[in-house]
Chain A
Amino acid sequence: MFIALREISFARGRFALMGAVVMLITTLVAFLYGLTGGLAADASSAVARLPVGSIVFAAGQGSSPQVSFSNSSVGPAQLAAWQSAPGVGSVAALGIAMSRLTSADSTTSVSVLGVPAALLPPLESGSAPAAGQVAVGAGTARADGVSVGSRVTVGARTLTVSGITADRSYGHAPSVWTTEPTWQQLSGATAPSALAVDPGTADTTALDRLQNTRTVGRAAALAGIDGFSAEQGSLRMIQGFLFAVSALVVGAFFTVWTVQRGTDIAVLKAVGASSGYLVRDALAQALVLLLGGTITGAAVGVAGGALLSSGGLPFVLSGATVAVPVLAMVVLGLAGAALAVRRITSADPLTALGANR
């Protein structure tokens, strides 16, 4: 690090410029991570935070079940078979539909979930909904000016607000919660969309085969939310491109830097510096640059994200999750730098004596 640090100090303009580039890319990646997390939560938290292990999707006779909440419908026989299957811990009917909630003040697009009380998010006030009642998220209650006892219209049905829950959402619409029979009435469905299951010791593969159902873990079930995979996939692809761009930019910088240092490298090798010493020194230089750029960039990303999320942008980024892109940027940047500085190993110390041999 002796030479590395002094070169950074001496060529501070060039390293500051490169550090700024790394910082900006990291800020962008941190923003994207936060946005990806925020949009994921906005699209799926109602399902992702259900207190069950698996979701069962079903199809009727003649068609195969898909992981899709909008295409799945659990028939009475399938529900009964799952409920009576040996080893199954618990089975709850789960209805999901998109609708509108109209209060005295406003109208809001909402997702309506029909579930038993055990699957409700934590109640902040009031009680779990009974037939003809609905529990709304705290954010919706605040925005629409409703409270426990208010009358609201969901779809074509007028319901009484029984409680205020923690905020959840589905398909980028805030969730409201009611009983499964009430959900069927207001959604027009004749059967629940899926089953929320604790599989216990049951042989779910055999059950799926017999009942024409498909059981997946809760995380995998998020792919059944319309547009979820495409949205997340697009954002992750952009993240991947940014990581690649970062590695290329850092690699390009160190390629040029190594070429510029060609004489110095030849001289150092001529006076006895090993290639390993010089490569370690160059990588230490890259590490300092990357750590400085990424940590500053992540800090700016987190601070900027906090500012934006206070304005309503879906943004979820914690210290732990920001560590992932920072680490990835550092590792990929080092990989790019390693490719660039490997030309140190082929530098000929003879050139330090001049070409007039």
Chain B
Amino acid sequence: MNGLTLQDVVLTYPDGDRRLTTLDRVSLHAAPGTLTAVVGPSGSGKSSLLAVAATLLRPDSGRVLVAGRDTAGLSPRQATELRRDRIGIVFQQPNLLASLTALEQLQAMAHLRGVSAKAGLPRAERLLASVGLTDGRQHRRPHQLSGGERQRVNIARALFAEPAVLLVDEPTSALDHDRGARIVDLLAAVTRDHDTATVMVTHDRGFAARADRTLELTDGRLS
């Protein structure tokens, strides 16, 4: 099955003498080309859901399949390779490298895949243009870009490896409403254009309504 699938995923954390259940038998399937919004209040387990889907956390039980590949038996190295090749992550804070220009942020993704930065340049230029970063802004460093522009670079970077799964963590939290809306619309567009199974977690129900479907996460339970 392509896209992203979570089946009966349970995740707990130690909390003193007992364990706190963060994800309680969570199941979902995000198909390619669809934007799924997961809404919930702070502490409901949204970021944990993303972390499990991104193979950054191993669940206590249940299965996580990324583009049909079961992540249960992956070694740390294999998980890293899976993230590199099949998963794109759009961070809450853009988390761009201060020393690199927008173009270089994407070229670095090529370089860490063993492709020369020069060879990655055309795709980096195309992707930045597709998220609306042109007119020389692609040669600016993060501190020379606006918050919305930084988030666009963040999205373009996540798309660089042509991921099957795009995981988006609160993409509008640092933006005003208008710019936030444009970013969510952009995410919906790139989901269709790049045929990614996109899961976006957000606390803002207004933005969630722009997704293909919306799921609610409350106390670790998805509904």
Contacts and interface: CB of A to CB of B under 8 A. Distances in A.
B85 interface: yes
Contacts of B169: 353-354
Interface string B80-92: 1101110111011
Given A6-B100, A10-B98, A356-B42, A272 B91 contact: no
Interface residues of A, number: 25
B100 A263 contact: no
A357 interface: yes
B47 A272 contact: no
Nearest to A275: B80
B91 A357 contact: no
Nearest to B161: A272
Interface string A1-36: 011001101110000000000000000000000000
A277 B113 CA distance: 10
Contacts of B108: 2-3, 268
Given A267-B91, A350-B57, A353-B56, A272 B99 contact: no
Given A2-B108, A357-B51, A271 B84 contact: yes
A35 B97 CA distance: 46
A357 B220 CA distance: 11
Interface in B51-79: 51, 54, 56-57, 77
A148 interface: no
A268 B51 contact: no
Contact of B99 (A11, A268, A270): A11
B56 A272 contact: no
Given A354-B92, A357-B48, A272 B80 contact: yes
Contacts of B141: 10
Given A350-B57, A354-B93, A354-B169, A272 B22 contact: no
Interface string A94-115: 0000000000000000000000
Nearest to A350: B56
A350 B51 contact: yes
A3 B47 contact: no
A2 B103 CA distance: 13
A10 B87 CA distance: 29
Most buried by A among B88, B99, B111, B157: B99
A9 B99 contact: yes
A273 B84 contact: yes
Interface in A275-315: 277
A274 interface: yes
Nearest to A351: B56
A272 B112 contact: yes
At the interface, is chain B mostly helix, strand, loop or mixed?
mixed
Contacts of B98: 10, 264
Interface string A315-355: 00000000000000000000000000000000001101110
Interface string B164-205: 000001000000000000000000000000000000000000
A255 to B, nearest CB: 19
Contacts, number: 91
A269 interface: yes
A149 to B, nearest CB: 74
Nearest to B88: A271
Contacts of A354: 47, 91-93, 169
B91 A352 contact: yes
Contacts of B43: 356
A270 B51 CA distance: 10
A277 to B, nearest CB: 5
B56 A3 contact: no
Most B CB contacts (10 A, CB to CB) among A9, A356, A357 go to: A357
B99 A3 contact: yes
A272 B84 contact: yes
B95 interface: yes
A3 B95 contact: no
B128 interface: no
B6 interface: no
Given A3-B97, A6-B99, A270-B56, A357 B109 contact: no
A28 B109 CA distance: 42
Interface of B: 22, 42-43, 47-48, 50-51, 54, 56-57, 77, 80-81, 83-85, 87-89, 91-93, 95, 97-100, 104, 107-109, 111-113, 117, 141, 157-158, 161, 169
Given A270-B89, A272-B85, A353-B169, 16 more contacts: A2-B117, A3-B108, A6-B99, A10-B141, A264-B98, A270-B56, A271-B83, A271-B112, A272-B112, A272-B161, A273-B80, A349-B56, A350-B56, A352-B91, A353-B51, A354-B91
16 contacts: A3-B100, A3-B111, A264-B97, A268-B108, A271-B89, A272-B80, A272-B81, A272-B113, A273-B112, A274-B112, A349-B56, A350-B51, A352-B91, A353-B51, A353-B89, A357-B57
